[in-house]
Amino acid sequence: MKLLHLDSGLFESQSITRKLTTQIVQRLQHDHADLEVTHRDLAASAPGHLSADALIAMGQPADQQTPAQQAEAAVTDTLLAEFLAADILVIGAPMYNFSIPSQLKAWFDRVLQAGKTFRYTAEGPVGLAGGKRVYIVSARGGVYSTNLSALDFQEDYLRTLLGFVGITDVSIIRAEGLAIGEEARNQALASAEGAIQDLAAA
């Protein structure tokens, strides 16, 4: 069984998403001795924003690509192969400016490809990458699960992107209110860690 572990928070130490994604991966490794883990740190090594070369390369045979397009294709193909091979994804996704880090968006821009992970039909788009289990760690400074939910373009957006490629088995482990104060931060962390224990038990 293969697990793809994505982190996208800019900071290494003190990172809540990194701490929690690591706990999920360790717990799953404990439960599945055969788990093959690939860790991709999207902050340390970010895929470039989509460019004309990157997009053209997605639909162009290699022998017709320019050197710049071949370089982009190498990035895209590596990310796509890792994604398609994974049975389980663990995604660290802090809220940045109400949405997700641009590094994580850049990763989705590489793997959402017509004909590879989704296709359009007369009845609407169909996802081609279903059957994966996804754990998302969502961290945010404020609280959006109650009266600020209209400002949350992070969690539903991630569910939409994954759903578009056919992935519906998604669990969100949330730590929110992290910037409110030490007590709120500790509570949020404890609640998320409890959710990880419950997930693993289930």
Window 121-150: residues binding ligand FMN (CB under 6 A): 139-142
Q: How far is the CB of 5 from ligand FMN (least distance, A)?
A: 14
Q: Which stretch binds ligand FMN (CB under 6 A): 7-15, 35-43, 46-54, 74-82?
A: 7-15
Decide: 21 and 3 in contact? Cβ < 8 Å. Answer: no
How many Å is the maximal CA-CA distance in the chain?
59
Q: How far apart are CA 188 and CA 20, in angstroms?
A: 12
Distance (Å, whole) CA 99 – CA 138: 11
9 binds ligand FMN (CB under 6 A): yes
For position 17 contacting ligand FMN by CB under 6 A, the verdict is yes
- From candidates 1, 11, 126, 197, binder to ligand FMN by CB under 6 A: 11
When the beta carbons of 145 and 168 are compared against ligand FMN, the nearer one is: 145
CA dihedral 57, 59, 65, 66 (to 10 degrees): -40
Among 97, 121, 147, 160, binds ligand FMN (CB under 6 A): 97
| Distance separating alpha carbons of residues 52 and 68, to the nearest angstrom | 10
The C-alpha atoms of residue 139 and residue 189 are separated, in whole angstroms, by 9
Q: Is 111 in the site for ligand FMN (CB under 6 A)?
A: no
Find out whether 112 and 157 touch, Cβ atoms under 8 Å.
no
> Which of 22/70 has CB closer to ligand FMN?
22
Does 16 engage in binding with ligand FMN (CB under 6 A)?
yes
Interface with ligand FMN includes 15 (CB under 6 A)? Answer: yes
**127 versus 142: smaller Cβ distance to ligand FMN:** 142
The CA R_g of the chain, rounded to the nearest whole Å, is 18
Tell me how far, at minimum, the Cβ of 17 lies from ligand FMN, in Å.
3
Q: Whose CA is closest to 101, among 7, 175, 2?
A: 7
Binding site for ligand FMN (CB under 6 A): 9, 11, 15-18, 94-98, 139-142, 178
